[in-house]
Amino acid sequence: MNDDKSPSRKAGASSCSVLNQGESTLAELPVGEVGVVVSMKPSLRGRKKFADVGIVPGTRLQMEAHAPFGGLLRIKVMESSLSIHRDDAANIIIRRQDRP
Amino acid sequence: MSRKYRIVLAGNPNCGKTTIFNCLTGARQHVGNYPGVTVESKTGEFMLGEDEIELIDIPGVYSLSSSSPEEGVAFEELMKPGIDLIMNVIDSSIPQRSLYLSTQLAELHIPMLIVFNMSDEAKKKGLKFNIQKLQSYFGCSIVQTVGSRGDGIDKLKNALAESLLHLEDHDVPKLTYGADVDDAIHELEEWIEPAMTDRIRHIPARFFAIKLLEKDTCVMRLHEFHGLDAIIDAQITHLYARHAITAETFMADCRYAMISGACRDAISFTQERRREISDKIDAVVTNQWIGLPLFFAVMYLMFWFTFTCAAPMTDGIEWLFGWIQSLIERFWSPDIQPVLRSLLIDGVIHGVGGVIVFLPNILFLFLAIAFLEDTGYMARAAFVMDGIMRKFDLQGKSFVPLVLGFGCNVPAIMATRSIESERDRRTTILVLPLMSCGARLPIYALLIPAFFAVKYQAFVMFLIYAIGVAFAMLAARLLKSTLFKGDGEVYLMELPPYRVPTAKSILLHMWDRGVMYLQKAGTIILGVSVLLFIANNYPEKKTFDVDYGAQIMAVASDTALSPEEQADAFKRIERMRHAEAAEYTVSGRVGKFLEPAFKPIGFDWRVTTAAISALAAKEIFVSQLGILYAEDAESAGDGEDEQEPLRQQLRRAYTPLQGFCMMLFCLLSIPCLATLAIIRRELNSWKWMFFEAAGLFVLAYGTTFIVYQLGLLLKIGTNYLL
């Protein structure tokens, strides 16, 4: 697992230059914090699947938890709770917001 | 005038479609609180006044496309002609997400009825709906229900009857996706209309136009539209350019924009109280540090519950069968119809009774699983286990089917359909038979107390289950690094809010499983027991190699022996005579023929026949030993021996090492025929089924061989620990 994490990390780092002020990836959002989806990186797989559950630009997300031993994140989207993988979250660009 | 209608029940995963289905049809399909319980379409019928209604429950989907097997099933079902009405169930506590599918269903222009289910939870959250406005927006009626309590079902039936009256002149929703998109849709429609053939003419061209703009694979594959690629691409490029977007998700964006427009008007929050309790529980349960230990505690509790709480009931059933047997023996003299009497006592009571004894364990196991499913904990378990599962190249979604496998492998294999990644799904199916199912439980429950001291029993039981899990994980790793190599797919799973399970739902699930178990005992196991009884007794041996009569006479006339010594000698001779007779029977011959092959793993011919007949159903292993040893006891002609429980006889015949090897072999070996059949169906291949059976047999034989030979060498378990 560790082997295939490093290239995706690298991809995340190199495209950091694309990020504007105040933007970060969903994977970097700390637990409890809120963000709004700005855009998806072209490298995001299964884009349609994420769109179908409501992860589209403009959607408000909250990071709820990190799973033990790595991979999964639990995020709140449109009143429902979803688990997605960190590698995919690294391809979703968000803008941090203050908590309500 | 009575008419017949076809109605399809559609909605998101875990929105309560099946609960509504059960309410309307009176059926008792299994429901659970995690996404993807319904994995194939189910049909039910009910009467609505004079009219006959055929209701079709399709798998829950987020979208009308084909990114998973369930979506494929749902899509195909909705494309079929002859649907009179779509009943769209939505979880009204998450309206925005749920209405996304409604916008797609509405484009089919089939009359629709929207059911705002879970309206109690919506109310708790402070959601208020302007039903009037929503109705005009989607061009159909909306009914609010609470499926779990049956609230609103009468209203739903009335609305359904009303909708069926207006099938001919139903409203067509006019959904708009913004001027540019609408133009593109119109343009495409012009091209699609002439390309449509009869088989899809009942679906509006507009629906296909939208799907083609999304590049939906299911629709793109239809041969009717193969010539249109260039036109579609031109439209898409044009739209992308206009909106400065570069993705196939702009239709999804448009739909959500449309819904949020509708929701702003029609849905309001009166108070901000969202998922509060659920979130608080999740803060602990899915915590990075507490989550896993908590999960293991829950699993331990589940097994403790299954074995400890069922014990008194098991004793009760054992006593009951003993009592029935003694009753028959008292009132049915051995002189009248001796064969039938023996068939009833040895074949039916020992064979079927031996299996029914474990009914309480099965009931408690399914009670525990149903409780975990209905509360919503299963989805959390998948979340916290994902990290560990990935170490073995599986994923969190494989986890729920694997746990269900402890109950029964057949529904567990069906539950793998919620795994999108085909490679992960195949791997999960192939390793699932290593999860020790409920039918293997009777084998352990018989053998463990026979060979192990009380203080070791729980540990041995845990060890057996753990060995199964360990082999499953290693096998998964092996499969994923060889046959199913490749990148994983996108992981996306919803965690439903916690719900207090209704006692009715849990008890029903337990009851259904209990009835299924009893049916199995009354049909397959009864039938196989009778066959085995015949195979174990015939052909009868008339002339013996040794003159036992003379031996008995010799002992009787030997005055040098004390009466006790004489009795022992009689018993020994009787046993030898019986052994010779048993070897002459069909099972004896088959067992004896195969014995050399199974000797290296510690099996004699009786255990060999039991292991072979266990292919029909795993519990038969217990029945067969029960039948074989019951005869031994009876033909020994000793009143005390006849009452002696099977365990004591086993203890006399085998060492604990052999007992352990029997369990190990039963755990790892070829699953029952029902499981093989479902593997063939789910993988759609005879080749894989045979591969699976052969692979498991080799694994079971190899492992048992190593354990037995090592045990003999190191003298572990060759004597009694007792």
User: pLDDT tens for residues B511-530?
Assistant: 888 888 888 778 887 888 88
User: pLDDT by residue (tens digit) across B129-160?
Assistant: 888 888 888 888 899 999 888 889 999 999 99
Asked if B77 and B53 count as a contact pair (C-beta separation under 8 A), the reply is: no
Angle in degrees, 0-180, between the axes of helices B396-404 and B422-431, rounded to the nearest 10: 30
Pairing of strands B42-48, A72-77: unpaired
What is the distance of C-alpha B290 from the center of its chain? 29
Residue of chain A whose alpha carbon sits nearest to that of B388: A69
Torsion B211-B216-B218-B221 (CA) sign: positive
Asked if B509 and B370 count as a contact pair (C-beta separation under 8 A), the reply is: yes
Could you identify the residue written with the tokens 């052994």? B579
Judged against a pLDDT cut of 60, whether residue B467 lies above it is answered with yes
Distance (Å) from the alpha carbon of A82 to chain B's nearest alpha carbon: 4
Residues B200 and B155 both lie in one domain: no
CB contact under 8 A, B492 and A74: no
Q: Which residues of A touch B62 (CB under 8 A)?
A: 49, 52-53
d(Cα B590, Cα B613) in Å, to the nearest integer? 11
pLDDT at B660: 95
Residues B40 and B158 both lie in one domain: yes
The more confident residue out of B509 and B102 is B102
Judged against a pLDDT cut of 50, whether residue B634 lies above it is answered with no
Task: Place B581 in a pLDDT band, splitting at 50, 70 and 90.
Answer: confident
By C-alpha distance, which of B84, B100, B4 is closest to B47? Answer: B4
Residues B563 and B687 both lie in one domain: yes
CB contact under 8 A, B492 and A56: no
CB contact under 8 A, B387 and A54: no
Angle in degrees, 0-180, between the axes of helices B396-404 and B377-391, rounded to the nearest 10: 110
Closest CB from A52, A65, A68 relative to B62:
A52
pLDDT at A12: 41
Interface A-B, measured as beta-carbon pairs within 8 A, has a size of: 139
d(Cα B269, Cα B21) in Å, to the nearest integer? 30
Probe site for chain B from A69, A82, A87, A99 (most B CB atoms < 10 A) = A69
Domain assignment present for B490: no
Element housing B331 (H / E):
helix B311-331
Residue of chain A whose alpha carbon sits nearest to that of B67: A49
Q: Which residues of A touch B246 (CB under 8 A)?
A: 42
pLDDT at B684: 85
d(Cα B655, Cα B716) in Å, to the nearest integer? 10
Q: What is the mean pLDDT of residues B571-600?
A: 85
User: pLDDT by residue (tens digit) across B34-67?
Assistant: 666 667 788 888 998 888 999 999 888 888 877 7
Which residues between 43 and 62 in chain A have a beta carbon less than 8 angstroms from any beta carbon of chain B? 45-54, 56-59
Domain assignment present for B362: yes
pLDDT at B488: 66
Task: Place B720 in a pLDDT band, splitting at 50, 70 and 90.
Answer: low
Asked if B150 and B127 count as a contact pair (C-beta separation under 8 A), the reply is: no
Edge-to-edge strand ranges of the sheet holding B141-144: B42-48, B51-57, B4-11, B85-91, B112-117, B141-144
Asked if omega into B13 is within 30° of 0 (cis), the reply is no
d(Cα B619, Cα B697) in Å, to the nearest integer? 18
Q: Domain containing B28: what range?
A: 4-165
Lowest mean pLDDT of B151-155, B405-409, B692-696, name the range: B405-409
pLDDT at B696: 96
pLDDT at B244: 59
Judged against a pLDDT cut of 60, whether residue A10 lies above it is answered with no
Q: Work out the percent of chain B whose per-residue pLDDT is above 90.
A: 20
Q: Is B396 on the interface with A (CB under 8 A)?
A: yes
Which residues between 228 and 287 in chain B have a beta carbon less than 8 angstroms from any beta carbon of chain A? 246-249, 252-253, 256, 274-275, 278-279, 282-283, 286-287
Lowest mean pLDDT of A89-93, B76-80, B343-347, name the range: B343-347
Domain boundary among B165, B200, B217: B165
Judged against a pLDDT cut of 60, whether residue B258 lies above it is answered with yes
> Which residues neighbour B133 within 8 Å (Cβ) at sequence distance 6 or greater?
B262, B265, B266
CATH superfamily assigned to domain A2-97: Ferrous iron transport protein A (FeoA) (2.30.30.90)
d(Cα A53, Cα A80) in Å, to the nearest integer? 9
Element housing B319 (H / E):
helix B311-331
Q: What is the mean pLDDT of residues A65-88?
A: 87
Closest CB from A50, A67, A85 relative to B286:
A67
Q: Which residues of A touch B492 (CB under 8 A)?
A: 46, 49-50, 53, 82-84
Probe site for chain B from A79, A82, A84, A99 (most B CB atoms < 10 A) = A79
Domain assignment present for B61: yes
Q: Is B112 helix (H, G, I), strand (E, B) or coil?
A: strand
Closest CB from A53, A69, A74 relative to B62:
A53
Task: Place B246 in a pLDDT band, splitting at 50, 70 and 90.
Answer: low
By C-alpha distance, which of B60, B78, B62, B65 is closest to B13? Answer: B60
Torsion B436-B439-B441-B447 (CA) sign: negative
Task: Place B632 in a pLDDT band, splitting at 50, 70 and 90.
Answer: low
Lowest mean pLDDT of B299-303, B373-377, B627-631, B666-670, name the range: B627-631
Residues B601 and B533 both lie in one domain: yes
Domain assignment present for B72: yes
Residues B369 and B470 both lie in one domain: yes
Q: Is A1 on the interface with B (CB under 8 A)?
A: yes
CB contact under 8 A, B492 and A68: no
Q: What is the mean pLDDT of residues B250-256?
A: 79
By C-alpha distance, which of A64, A80, A71, A5 is closest to B385? Answer: A71
CB contact under 8 A, B391 and A82: no
Pairing of strands B112-117, B85-91: parallel
Which residues between 118 and 137 in chain B have a beta carbon less than 8 angstroms from any beta carbon of chain A? 125
Could you identify the residue written with the tokens 């969202």? B274
Judged against a pLDDT cut of 50, whether residue A8 lies above it is answered with no
Closest CB from B67, B100, B288 relative to A66:
B288
Strand locations in B431-509 (E):
492-495
Residues B101 and B244 both lie in one domain: no
Closest CB from B65, B97, B282 relative to A65:
B282
pLDDT at B638: 41
User: pLDDT by residue (tens digit) across B79-127?
Assistant: 888 899 999 999 988 888 888 899 889 888 889 999 999 888 888 777 8
By C-alpha distance, which of B39, B43, B36 is closest to B14? Answer: B36
pLDDT at B635: 43
If one counts every other C-beta atom within 10 angstroms of the C-beta of residue B153, the result is 17
Token couple for B196? 């449509």
Q: What is the mean pLDDT of residues B598-616?
A: 90
Which residues between 54 and 93 in chain B have a beta carbon less than 8 angstroms from any beta carbon of chain A? 62-63, 65, 67, 93
d(Cα B590, Cα B596) in Å, to the nearest integer? 11
Token couple for B522? 């009354």
Residues B73 and B123 both lie in one domain: yes
pLDDT at B87: 94
Distances, alpha carbon B469 to alpha carbons B432, B666, B667, B669, B714, in Å: 9, 14, 10, 14, 26
pLDDT at A57: 83
What ranges do the domains of chain A cover? 2-97
Residue of chain B whose alpha carbon sits nearest to that of A69: B387
User: pLDDT by residue (tens digit) across B166-216?
Assistant: 888 777 777 778 777 888 888 888 888 888 888 888 888 889 988 888 888
CB contact under 8 A, A1 and B391: yes
The number of distinct structural domains making up chain B is: 4
d(Cα A88, Cα A91) in Å, to the nearest integer? 5
Q: Is B267 left (phi over 0), alpha (psi -120 to 50) or beta?
A: beta
Q: Which residues of A touch B287 (CB under 8 A)?
A: 65
If one counts every other C-beta atom within 10 angstroms of the C-beta of residue B479, the result is 20
Asked if B252 and B97 count as a contact pair (C-beta separation under 8 A), the reply is: no
Judged against a pLDDT cut of 80, whether residue B486 lies above it is answered with no
Amino acid, res. B451: F
Mean pLDDT, chain B, as a whole number? 84
Q: Which residues of A touch B98 (CB under 8 A)?
A: none
Asked if A56 and A37 count as a contact pair (C-beta separation under 8 A), the reply is: yes
Asked if B384 and B377 count as a contact pair (C-beta separation under 8 A), the reply is: no
Closest CB from B275, B495, B496 relative to A74:
B495
Domain boundary among B165, B194, B209: B165
Residue of chain B whose alpha carbon sits nearest to that of A2: B391
Task: Place B245 in a pLDDT band, splitting at 50, 70 and 90.
Answer: low
Judged against a pLDDT cut of 90, whether residue B260 lies above it is answered with no
Distance (Å) from the alpha carbon of B67 to chain A's nearest alpha carbon: 8
* Burial classification of residue A21, based on how many CB atoms lie within 10 Å of its CB (0-12 exposed, 13-18 middle, 19 or more buried): exposed
Asked if B155 and B145 count as a contact pair (C-beta separation under 8 A), the reply is: yes
